[in-house]
């Protein structure tokens, strides 16, 4: 297992697979998961000959538990530490949900300024801002995220069963084909991480305004979102992000939910590959 230690002493776990001289595809996972959530994409891109890198966010998966730094600034700086350690160049950064926010901040503040990024992909991503404010009337009320915090603090293990069993993968929709293995794998990844990191991470993914991050990105950026996303509503996220990006392309999927990278991997992988090759 490979780790890099950040400037504030946190050990970040990462996978680095495939030919070292191939173009890097860097994956950024969602809350409260780990790099394992990208298994379907990791195997797919390895088979296509790419170098694949995926890390566990601080306090998540196999990275260090820490009481501090659970915010987008630290998330992005941790990615920069991995990228610098591996000297990744011409990389494509792909982020899901909270990982999409991580991608936006990393590319805007570290990746583009250092000439390391070729393209970016935001999948079911949280930018520009999830919470409802006076300037963001289409966002979700703060009470929604307070409910997340209360459920996590009361019984994290049960909460981490309820989320994938219901809205995350759309398994609460009539006629949905429920995959217990997918639910159990979500629970496994979540329970590997730190309750403190997950609790603080709710604020990070819901209350971080990334308007300026999106405006600063100039590399080609693909925005993918399911039209039946019950976790990150498409109207307040993808439809707003595409207005802010200088070089963005939006693709939406009727009927697809938040966890479409897993349950619709065949469709998503083909679209990701087409964009990477474009």
Residue appearing with tokens 């230690």: 5
**Checking DSSP bridges between strand 51-55 and strand 91-96, what pairing results, if any?**
unpaired
pLDDT band of residue 174 (cuts 50, 70, 90) is very high
Closest CA to 249 of 238, 257, 259: 238
Looking at every residue in the chain, the average pLDDT score rounds to 97
pLDDT band of residue 11 (cuts 50, 70, 90) is very high
Indicate if 97 belongs to the active site.
yes
Closest CA to 45 of 80, 20, 84, 17: 17
What would the pLDDT profile of 54-74 be if each residue is shown by its tens digit?
999 999 999 999 999 999 999
Rounded to two decimals, the pTM is 0.98
Q: How far apart are the first and last CA of the chain?
A: 33
The answer to whether 82 and 93 have CB atoms below 8 angstroms apart is no
The answer to whether 85 and 102 have CB atoms below 8 angstroms apart is no
263: β partners: none
pLDDT exceeds cutoff 90 at 251:
yes
| Integer angstrom CA distances of residue 28 from 49, 97, 124, 192, 250 | 20, 9, 12, 17, 19
Among residues 63, 93, 229, 237, the one annotated as catalytic is 229
Distance CA 14, CA 60 (A): 12
The answer to whether 29 and 21 have CB atoms below 8 angstroms apart is no
Indicate if 213 belongs to the active site.
no
Cβ neighbours for 148, distance < 8 A, ≥ 6 positions apart: 159, 202
Closest CA to 168 of 96, 245, 269: 96
Give me the domains of the chain, ranges plus CATH numbers: 2-277 (3.40.50.1820)
Residue appearing with tokens 């990982």: 99
pLDDT band of residue 112 (cuts 50, 70, 90) is very high
The answer to whether 272 and 220 have CB atoms below 8 angstroms apart is no
Distance CA 118, CA 26 (A): 11
pLDDT exceeds cutoff 90 at 260:
yes
pLDDT exceeds cutoff 90 at 266:
yes
pLDDT exceeds cutoff 90 at 255:
yes
Closest CA to 169 of 156, 195, 187, 144: 187
What would the pLDDT profile of 178-189 be if each residue is shown by its tens digit?
999 999 999 999
Indicate if 60 belongs to the active site.
no
Among residues 97, 124, 165, 237, the one annotated as catalytic is 97
Q: What is the pLDDT of residue 199?
A: 98
Q: What is the pLDDT of residue 170?
A: 98
Share of the chain above pLDDT 90, in %: 99
Distance CA 241, CA 95 (A): 14
Burial 195-230 (b: 16+ CB within 10 A, else e): eebbbbbbebbbbbebbebbebbebbbbbbbbebbe
The answer to whether 89 and 190 have CB atoms below 8 angstroms apart is no
pLDDT exceeds cutoff 90 at 1:
no
Burial 131-153 (b: 16+ CB within 10 A, else e): bbeeebeebbeeeebeebeeebe
**Checking DSSP bridges between strand 11-17 and strand 24-28, what pairing results, if any?**
unpaired
120: β partners: 93, 221
């Amino acid at each position: 297992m490979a780790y890099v230690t950040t400037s504030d002493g946190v050990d970040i776990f990462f996978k680095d697979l495939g030919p070292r001289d191939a173009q890097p595809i860097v994956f950024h996972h969602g809350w409260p998961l780990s790099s394992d959530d990208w298994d379907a994409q990791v195997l797919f891109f390895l088979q296509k000959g790419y170098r694949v890198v995926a890390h566990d966010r601080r306090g998540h998966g196999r990275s260090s538990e820490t009481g501090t730094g659970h915010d987008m600034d630290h998330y992005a700086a941790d990615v920069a530490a991995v990228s610098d350690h591996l000297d990744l160049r011409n990389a494509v950064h792909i982020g899901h949900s909270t990982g999409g926010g991580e991608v936006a901040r990393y590319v805007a503040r570290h990746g583009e300024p250092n000439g390391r990024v070729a393209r970016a992909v935001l999948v079911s991503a949280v930018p520009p801002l999830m919470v409802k404010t006076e300037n963001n009337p289409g966002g979700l009320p703060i009470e929604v995220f307070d409910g997340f915090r209360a459920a996590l603090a009361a019984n994290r293990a049960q909460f981490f069963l309820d989320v994938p069993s219901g809205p995350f993968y759309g398994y609460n929709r009539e006629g949905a084909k429920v995959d217990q293995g997918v639910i159990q794998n979500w629970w496994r990844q979540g329970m590997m991480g730190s309750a403190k990191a997950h609790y603080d991470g709710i604020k990070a993914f819901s209350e971080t305004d990334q308007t300026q991050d999106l405006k600063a990105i100039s590399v080609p950026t693909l925005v993918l979102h399911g039209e039946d996303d019950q976790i990150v509503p498409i109207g307040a996220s993808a439809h707003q992000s595409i207005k802010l990006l200088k070089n963005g392309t939006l693709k939406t999927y009727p009927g697809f939910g938040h966890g479409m990278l897993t349950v619709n991997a065949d469709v998503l992988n083909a679209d990701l590959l087409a964009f990477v090759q474009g």
